[in-house]
Structure 1
Amino acid sequence: MAFPQTPLDVRTELQIGGVWTDVTADCYTRSPIGIECGRSEESARTNPSRASLEFNNRLGKYSPRNPMSPYYGLIGRNTPVQVSVLGGATYLRVTGGTTNTGATTPDAAALDITGDIDIRFDATLDLWTTPAGIQGTDLTGKWITTGGQRSWMFQQRNGRPYLEWSPDGTTTIGAHCATTPAVPPSRRMAWRATLDVNNGSGGWTATFYTAPTIAGPWTQLGDPVTGAGVTSIFNSTTPVAVGNATNLLYTKPLGQFHAMELRNGIAGTLVASPTFAGQTPGAPSITDSTGKVWTMNPQGSISNQQRIFSGAISSWPTRWDVSGKDVWVSVEASGTLRRLGQGTKALASTLRRRLPSYSPLAYWPCEEDDGATQAYSPITGVAPLAVTGWQFAQDDSLGGSAALPNVAPGATLRGRVPTTASTAWALCLPYRADGTPPAAEQEMLSWTTTGTIRRWRILMSSTSTHILGYDATGALALDSTILTGTNLWSAWWRLEFAAEQSGGNVSYTITWTKVGVSSGVPVSGSYAGTVGVVNQVDTSFGPGIPTLSIGHLAVFAADIVAAAYASADHGFTGETATTRMARLANEESRTVALSTYTDPANPSAALGPQRPADLLTLLQDCADADGGILYESKTDASLAYRDLRTLYNQTPRMTLSYTAEGEIGPPLEPVDDDQKSRNDVTVTRTAGSSARSVQETGPMSTAAPPNGIGVYDDSVTLNLHNDDQPPQIAGWRLHLGTWDEARYPSVRLMLHAAPHLIPAFLGLTVGDRIRLTNLPSWLPPGPVDLIVQGWSQVLDLYTWDVVLNCTPAGPWTVGVLDDPNLGRLDTDGCTLGAGVSSSATSMTLVSSPGPRWIDSAAFPSEFPFDVLIGGEQVRITAMSGTTLTQTATVVRSINGIVKAHSTGAAVALAQPLVLAL
């Protein structure tokens, strides 16, 4: 990409009638394209991304309601738009869906692998997880189902690698990796699968790996997968495909493929190796290093198009000059967050959302507002529940529900259940009782059926439960007393009853399941007769029962109660932030697509119950509790979330030199202020306890100047799982708020003056670390590491200006066990025992109150390490003495600072261990 000598090739596309259409020729260059994304340096939350564009509208093409426009009826509110630049590395573009995408090479003798195989690919995908309801995503393979031509295929299923092969072209064997890989925020990674067809133990072994790119290094992903029996791979005539795998309607990947390798044998002979970088954009075919010719499929292409914005245009304001000869439309496109922020409708409670999907015969949520006189049913054809003695919206203590009614002693409920042919049925009533349980048995639930037992009654007391059944004449036909020995009154419980026809008998089970506990307390029985179907729930609560809170009463045509209510009844309390985000995105797939970036081995924060709220609020609550960044993808109209742990200890994605021409544009203006200072932090768990963390000593403490900076307090309420979390989060937020370093709120890149930075910028993701080097002498010694929170950019024909919004990266360098630099604990205080000149190579160190520094006689392998004294970085190569006063042998001026130090100067590790959250 050579410019400013040649114009910057910017492409603007609109999705018109479902097809991406290049409208660059109509996009005015007189008004530069402006783009903003991510969050500002001052903001704690991400703002909707924006792009400003101006279209030539002299022909009325961009007037949505103009019948003479070729786009009439095809553009309007929220028309998708994307802006991209042409340049940088080429790749194989794959377009998703179930169409014929990717590239293929014909079958050849070298590709007819029947024994051990080694398959690798390198891709940047918009989505590495399977959308809800989709079995898998094709990645690469040699697999056609027609004519028994299956060999092998490599897929993604449920976010994990999956390898399948056929020994005979028809029957199949599969190996599914048990571990989910951590997807990096760049969305680029390489996967590898090997198959040992004869592991020497009478079976086969499949092993999976991941790497940053196809160049490695490869890290084994989980344990190998083994199977009984020696196997083989069928020698089919099928072409090998990349960016695709089968002729089946699996989802095809969306994004970029960079390379693929196929080896005969594990780490064996390379038989195919398409590399898509360095190819000619638009080329219909390429030849790999083994001589194989790869042809692009209709929905696959070699491209160097790099997206820098993806959003939607919500309005098309037409403007013109007084002559009417200059007509234009100035639009502002926005990302997904703008649309989500427009709606205020709360998502229903998790139970209300979950239960209808299990097709109940009848269901009454009972989530009406105070003042309601009946409970409606969301199930078509089910009449409202008639009630007496109910006061709605009184109890919001059930995590998976909106506020539920209080039911007074002697209250009633009656609801008709549509009848259906069935040989089994089940009922469930979640309840919670306040007050003293009754000593005598009281009616808790009653219903009628068409079976041998026409009326069922459940009576409960503080010590027992009675199940009564009456036949068509009203005679008592079943009388069973159950002594449970369990307190079934003092928390939320699910009362479940299920019955099923078994030959000439009916088997029934009554179960109490405490909400939040995976297994219940079941008691079973049977009687001779027919089960019938439930036709009415009709209960008069006993006058001796204490005040109840009840809701989400449901009747099913099978015993599926546990599956229907599990986890949803407590609002998915305890699930991690990224798990909840992914679940919400799947449930609301028509509204939002979302990718999460987290390490499954280091899960994100555990959350409290999911309460009714709008989707954006629920997603942001997850991000707030975890401390990561929710942002908009620049490559598609989706959201992305990188959890807090992906921000730790990053390798800089971009290094900028102040002295290199054009790499850091003016002005570079560090700010040393108190804008982010917080030294007294309180964190409260929603409906839980609080924790406070205060910095009471040191330069950033609550002490008055000059010993500190005074009090800068902050408080936040987070939806956390338990009361152990607030102290940890308060401590971490205090760490962030007392970081003592100048801020660099913005860093300017003049990409037209330094085009070699363009590939690195295009690969930059919100939350990435960058490094500034060779800073001027009047600034503190570098390098300076920063976290990129977002950016703005302005593009015209010959300029490309970018301003990165940044925060200090220092607080995100955290301790690593046994690491020689990040795994060291500092002392609780150390000073110089005597003043030293700027060139002294020996220093007296006094630790107080201790512990002392390690000595090199006992710990020779732990040397050297660096300390800071008055801003000078000093390297300690040896230490003698075993008391609090020790002598250090040092190398001076590691960071370029040359100065003398006085007696009593503070000595501290240059990189002390910081405990991560």
Structure 2
Amino acid sequence: MAAVPDARVELQIAGTWVDVTDDVDKSAGISHSRGRRAEGSRVDPAAASLTLRNDSNAYSNRAPTSTNYGKLGRNTPMRISVGGADTVFEIPERTISYASTPDHASLDITGDLDVRVDVAPALWAGGHANAQYELISKYLTTGNQRGWLLGVNEYGGLRFWWSSNGSTFTQIDSTVSTFFGPNTRGAVRVTLDVNNGLGGYTQTFYTAPTMAGPWTQLGDATVTTSGTTSIFSNTAVLAVGDRTTTAFQNTARRYYSAEVRSGIGGSVVANPNFNAQAPGTTSFTDGAGRTWTNNTGTLITDRRNRGVLEVSEWTPDWHSSGHGVTVPVRGAGILRRLGQGAKELASTLRRRIPPVGLPKAYWPLEEGRDATQAYSPVSGVAPLSVSGFDFASDDTMPGASALPRLTAASRFSGTVPAYTPTGQWLISAVYLWPTAPASNTLLLDFTTTGSARRIAVTVQPTSVLLEGFDAGGGLLFSTAVATAGFSFHGPWNRLEISAIESGANCTFRIAWVDVDGTPWENTQVVAATAGIVQAITTTCGALAAGTSLGHLGVFDTANTSVYEFADNGWRLEDAGTRAYRLGIEENVPITLAGYWADMVRMGPQRPNTLLTLLGEVEAADGGILSEATDFVGLTYRGRPALYNQTPRLTIPYGQLAPSLELTDDDRHIRNDRTVSRVGGSSARAVQTTGALSTAAPPAGVGIYDDSQTVNVGTDAQCADVAGWLLRLGTWDEPRVPKVRLYVHKDPSLVQAITSLTVGDVIRITDLPSWLPPGPLDLIVEGWDEKILPLSWEITLNCSPAGPWTVPVLDDTTRARLDTSGSTLASGISSSATSLSVATTTGPLWSTVSGHRPFNILVGGELMTVTGLSGASSPQTFTVTRSVNGVVKAHSSAAPVRLAQAVILAL
């Protein structure tokens, strides 16, 4: 193990990471902070500071004599790392790579298979619907060399593929997730019994803390009785990590070891133990004789990144004599750059249509009130000429900025540049036509080079009519769709007019689709050609006044998906998917943790800055947006990934740096919370009983109210959000805002400290008698650290973890309901193990044996109930005393309650 802290500083110069540690001023050391500074506040940009000695002129970017002249500047990437952690095979974030061993006869297993992997991925449960990735495989799609592949699916469960012929494959998922938290080490295993003796095959998944076990079955065994199976003997390499021929997510992973056995529990044919290799090893032979080689971008390392930042400030400093030149360096996380001069993102339709639909002409019509024409963001397309438009008068379209309303004198015309015919086209727009007109009124009129030289859309009192006219003005086709009862009038819709050639015929289609995806349509097939759309020239009738119109586009394909979801502003999109999509659209790397389907459904995404939109995700879902430590980018830890965590670090009180300070004040009390939906209704949640209720002291603490507006998808969600915020605001526990550790004095802490991510739980045990009985579980909100050559001090910013313990079905602890009110029917001594408990209100305590054991609290003493009897009040409890170390007698009428009562999650 390397000396602690073994810090290293690197700068990315001309695309290469250069170690500059020797030039760091050791006396000043390295200061680094990230995450939230206080409970409930937004994450501040990560920050790091250090000083480089510059006598060699290496860090004078503007000095022509410097070896790095022109190579350094603002936002130069800087990486800070420490050594001394476990040695692992690492696939960094945003890297698609692997370690592999060549095909060998012993690896060509066609019968029973047993595969095991010990790994710590950045996430186990993906935050969006496509978040699956590989763990280990002998699988190649090229040349139909599919064998088998073990991976993690988007739900955080295990997924196993295998093929019996190299071409087609079978895929089976575990019935439950692995329950490992982000960045947590865990071992997983799959066995395949190709012939279970019952005319079928059996596949079983397992998990364990490490490769050493013990192995626990994960969910239900999967048994297929439709026939036996086999595994194709293929020529693919055995790979730990990604397969470049699959299209899975490139999740960061740290591998400790892997194992492949021929037969269930059979002979080992490959067992790379990365943890046993020297850091820097690029190739080695495992215990089964297989030679493993690292692929590009991977490494075997005992180093862990504390932060990858951007140098935001270079400030040269020198002594008056001209000697002792130094460069104080300030690094910052990506939030600093994103928060400076950020422009408001355009509407979802404006952002999606040009890059996805590749329109031949497109006019958003999102101009300001005084506009006299409508510009096109498509190169070479002239502005739309308009008159009689009341611009920026309707801001109710979810996926658009304010759009114009038509007046009685509205007219618009635009030319579509010539393009190569494809045999089909589409014209689409969004509109809101309030009520049916009293007589026929023109909505759209355009020309093509096809058989229908002029096409018109007319809104009639009870229908919408699509007509096509030939070059001589004769009617070529006519089709109508009834509007009564089909939502043409009233809501926002998108209009779709299309043509598709097929042989000598052409199908003309008219349709409208409301912004939540319900279509109404009609088509007509005639002997005709489609041609291309040439121009749009429409003079609307007076009865079209009051109709709102926008995002008029012309496309050379009849595929209508370009407007989908963007027209309603991605309303009801889950929080994780929204964050992930925004990151892709803005080229900002964002990794996600937490099961996406359990995250809050969002309201429409309206124009705003990127950080504001990501802040809406964080506020609505209740997760944590922070900065990544391994790359310049962001992470979003969704609310599901904060629930019911196993502590990442457990440390006795005596190992803490002095001193642990508790605050027991009213700073975070909020017992009356109102939550409103953006543009919608509101809900209120109030704590009316208990120590932190709105009741006047001493029954409560009085009123501490607040209100928040969140961008959730429906009004009904407001009550749930308000209830969850009330839980957080009335959690009755002293705060421990800071936990300080001297890592250099206890190197055994390095592995846990370097694995901590924002949102993880730590546990402090063996609390002294003057503090509340423990253990004390805390969520890590962020940290500040100071690294010197011989010392490493880190201060963790914390909040209570208790509120994040939520019910789990069939769990004797986390699925038990409390009674409304129970007390001791008689006093007990400090050693009594039988209690008489009276239930004053609510149902009696369950006497079913399967509902035990469970924990109760009586006067601050934690007891475990092992037996319970009595069909009426009072009931008799048999208990194990002083579970939390509290030894005391209790008087009659002392309250009895569950140690962990069920409070539903958001």
Structure 2 length-normalised TM: 0.91
> For residues 843-883 of structure 1, what are the alpha-carbon distances to aligned partners after superposition, in whole Å with 9 as ceiling and x for unaligned?
543333332334x4xx3443454332322334445555444
Give the SS at the match of 1:353.
Answer: helix
Please report the RMSD computed on the Cα atoms of aligned residues, expressed in angstroms: 3.4
Partner of 2:325: 327
User: What pairs with 1:497-508 in structure 2 (closer than 5 Å)?
Assistant: 497-508=497-508
State the alpha-carbon separation in 2 of the partners of residues 199 and 539 from structure 1.
71
State the alpha-carbon separation in 2 of the partners of residues 624 and 791 from structure 1.
21
Check conservation: 1:129, 1:156, Cα contact below 8 A. Answer: no
Offset at 1:566?
0.9
Check conservation: 1:879, 1:887, Cα contact below 8 A. Answer: yes
Check conservation: 2:398, 2:569, Cα contact below 8 A. Answer: yes
Give the SS at the match of 1:438.
Answer: coil
Indicate how the Cα distance of structure 1 residues 527 and 240 shifts in structure 2: closer, same or farther if over 3 A, else same: closer
Residue identity opposite 1:364 in structure 2: W
State the alpha-carbon separation in 1 of the partners of residues 643 and 79 from structure 2.
31
State the alpha-carbon separation in 2 of the partners of residues 904 and 253 from structure 1.
55
Give the SS at the match of 1:277.
Answer: helix
Select which of 46, 51, 55 maps to 1:49: 46
Give the SS at the match of 1:49.
Answer: strand
Offset at 1:73?
2.2
Give the SS at the match of 1:665.
Answer: coil
Partner of 2:896: 907
* Structure 2: unaligned runs, 5 residues or longer: none
> For residues 567-596 of structure 1, what are the alpha-carbon distances to aligned partners after superposition, in whole Å with 9 as ceiling and x for unaligned?
11101111110111111222223xx11111
Give the SS at the match of 2:513.
Answer: strand
Partner of 1:350: 348
Select which of 648, 652, 663 maps to 2:643: 648
Partner of 2:538: 539
Select which of 564, 567, 590 maps to 2:565: 567
Indicate how the Cα distance of structure 1 residues 152 and 372 shifts in structure 2: closer, same or farther if over 3 A, else same: same
Select which of 93, 118, 128 maps to 2:90: 93
User: What pairs with 1:305-454 in structure 2 (closer than 5 Å)?
Assistant: 305-356=303-354, 357-420=356-419, 421-434=421-434, 436-454=435-453
> For residues 472-494 of structure 1, what are the alpha-carbon distances to aligned partners after superposition, in whole Å with 9 as ceiling and x for unaligned?
23344434444344241110111
> For residues 720-748 of structure 1, what are the alpha-carbon distances to aligned partners after superposition, in whole Å with 9 as ceiling and x for unaligned?
01111111111111111111111111111
Q: Give the stretch that moved more between structures: 238-247 or 354-363.
A: 238-247
Offset at 1:166?
7.6
Check conservation: 1:441, 1:466, Cα contact below 8 A. Answer: no
Indicate how the Cα distance of structure 1 residues 554 and 665 shifts in structure 2: closer, same or farther if over 3 A, else same: same
Indicate how the Cα distance of structure 1 residues 666 and 323 shifts in structure 2: closer, same or farther if over 3 A, else same: same
Offset at 1:454?
1.8
Partner of 1:657: 652
Check conservation: 1:496, 1:510, Cα contact below 8 A. Answer: yes
Partner of 2:886: 897
Partner of 1:603: 598
Check conservation: 2:39, 2:798, Cα contact below 8 A. Answer: no
Partner of 1:743: 735
Offset at 1:72?
1.8
Residue identity opposite 1:21 in structure 2: V
Select which of 35, 38, 57 maps to 1:38: 35
> For residues 694-725 of structure 1, what are the alpha-carbon distances to aligned partners after superposition, in whole Å with 9 as ceiling and x for unaligned?
11122101122112111111111100011111
Indicate how the Cα distance of structure 1 residues 861 and 130 shifts in structure 2: closer, same or farther if over 3 A, else same: closer
Indicate how the Cα distance of structure 1 residues 20 and 175 shifts in structure 2: closer, same or farther if over 3 A, else same: farther
State the alpha-carbon separation in 2 of the partners of residues 862 and 239 from structure 1.
50
Partner of 1:714: 706
Offset at 1:349?
1.3
Give the SS at the match of 1:552.
Answer: strand
Give the SS at the match of 1:677.
Answer: coil
Partner of 2:258: 260
> For residues 512-534 of structure 1, what are the alpha-carbon distances to aligned partners after superposition, in whole Å with 9 as ceiling and x for unaligned?
211102x4111111233332221
State the alpha-carbon separation in 2 of the partners of residues 212 and 396 from structure 1.
54
State the alpha-carbon separation in 2 of the partners of residues 13 and 314 from structure 1.
15
Partner of 2:24: 27
Residue identity opposite 1:55 in structure 2: L
Residue identity opposite 1:258 in structure 2: Y
Indicate how the Cα distance of structure 1 residues 348 and 118 shifts in structure 2: closer, same or farther if over 3 A, else same: farther
Check conservation: 1:81, 1:312, Cα contact below 8 A. Answer: yes
Offset at 1:202?
9.7
Indicate how the Cα distance of structure 1 residues 898 and 551 shifts in structure 2: closer, same or farther if over 3 A, else same: same
Offset at 1:465?
2.1
Give the SS at the match of 2:615.
Answer: helix
State the alpha-carbon separation in 2 of the partners of residues 158 and 554 from structure 1.
38
Partner of 1:526: 525
- Alignment of 1:846 with 2:838, yes or no, is yes
Offset at 1:364?
0.8
Residue identity opposite 2:273 in structure 1: T
Indicate how the Cα distance of structure 1 residues 93 and 900 shifts in structure 2: closer, same or farther if over 3 A, else same: closer
Indicate how the Cα distance of structure 1 residues 664 and 613 shifts in structure 2: closer, same or farther if over 3 A, else same: same
Q: Percent identity?
A: 44
- Alignment of 1:513 with 2:513, yes or no, is yes
Give the SS at the match of 2:331.
Answer: strand
- Alignment of 1:867 with 2:856, yes or no, is yes
State the alpha-carbon separation in 1 of the partners of residues 662 and 94 from structure 2.
47
Check conservation: 2:14, 2:71, Cα contact below 8 A. Answer: yes
Indicate how the Cα distance of structure 1 residues 318 and 166 shifts in structure 2: closer, same or farther if over 3 A, else same: same
Residue identity opposite 2:728 in structure 1: L
State the alpha-carbon separation in 1 of the partners of residues 44 and 630 from structure 2.
17
State the alpha-carbon separation in 2 of the partners of residues 872 and 202 from structure 1.
57
Residue identity opposite 1:454 in structure 2: R
State the alpha-carbon separation in 2 of the partners of residues 618 and 205 from structure 1.
47
User: What pairs with 1:54-93 in structure 2 (closer than 5 Å)?
Assistant: 54-93=51-90
Partner of 1:759: 751
Check conservation: 2:93, 2:630, Cα contact below 8 A. Answer: no
State the alpha-carbon separation in 2 of the partners of residues 680 and 21 from structure 1.
54
Check conservation: 1:90, 1:278, Cα contact below 8 A. Answer: yes
State the alpha-carbon separation in 1 of the partners of residues 510 and 573 from structure 2.
29
Offset at 1:229?
9.9
Indicate how the Cα distance of structure 1 residues 797 and 697 shifts in structure 2: closer, same or farther if over 3 A, else same: same
Q: Give the stretch that moved more between structures: 758-767 or 189-198.
A: 189-198
Aligned length: 897
Q: Give the stretch that moved more between structures: 708-717 or 217-226.
A: 217-226
Residue identity opposite 1:807 in structure 2: S
Select which of 618, 626, 629 maps to 2:621: 626
* Structure 1: unaligned runs, 5 residues or longer: none
Structure 1 length-normalised TM: 0.90
- Alignment of 1:786 with 2:778, yes or no, is yes
Give the SS at the match of 2:701.
Answer: coil
Residue identity opposite 1:348 in structure 2: A
State the alpha-carbon separation in 2 of the partners of residues 225 and 58 from structure 1.
72
Check conservation: 1:94, 1:300, Cα contact below 8 A. Answer: yes
State the alpha-carbon separation in 2 of the partners of residues 511 and 274 from structure 1.
59
Offset at 1:36?
0.6
Give the SS at the match of 1:536.
Answer: strand
State the alpha-carbon separation in 1 of the partners of residues 671 and 131 from structure 2.
50
- Alignment of 1:585 with 2:583, yes or no, is yes
Offset at 1:156?
6.5
> For residues 746-772 of structure 1, what are the alpha-carbon distances to aligned partners after superposition, in whole Å with 9 as ceiling and x for unaligned?
111111222211211111121111111
Residue identity opposite 1:39 in structure 2: R
State the alpha-carbon separation in 2 of the partners of residues 498 and 573 from structure 1.
26
State the alpha-carbon separation in 2 of the partners of residues 196 and 173 from structure 1.
19
State the alpha-carbon separation in 1 of the partners of residues 762 and 207 from structure 2.
25
State the alpha-carbon separation in 1 of the partners of residues 532 and 585 from structure 2.
32
Indicate how the Cα distance of structure 1 residues 508 and 207 shifts in structure 2: closer, same or farther if over 3 A, else same: farther
State the alpha-carbon separation in 2 of the partners of residues 167 and 843 from structure 1.
63
State the alpha-carbon separation in 1 of the partners of residues 95 and 899 from structure 2.
54
Indicate how the Cα distance of structure 1 residues 175 and 52 shifts in structure 2: closer, same or farther if over 3 A, else same: farther
Partner of 1:105: 101
Offset at 1:65?
1.3
Indicate how the Cα distance of structure 1 residues 553 and 899 shifts in structure 2: closer, same or farther if over 3 A, else same: same
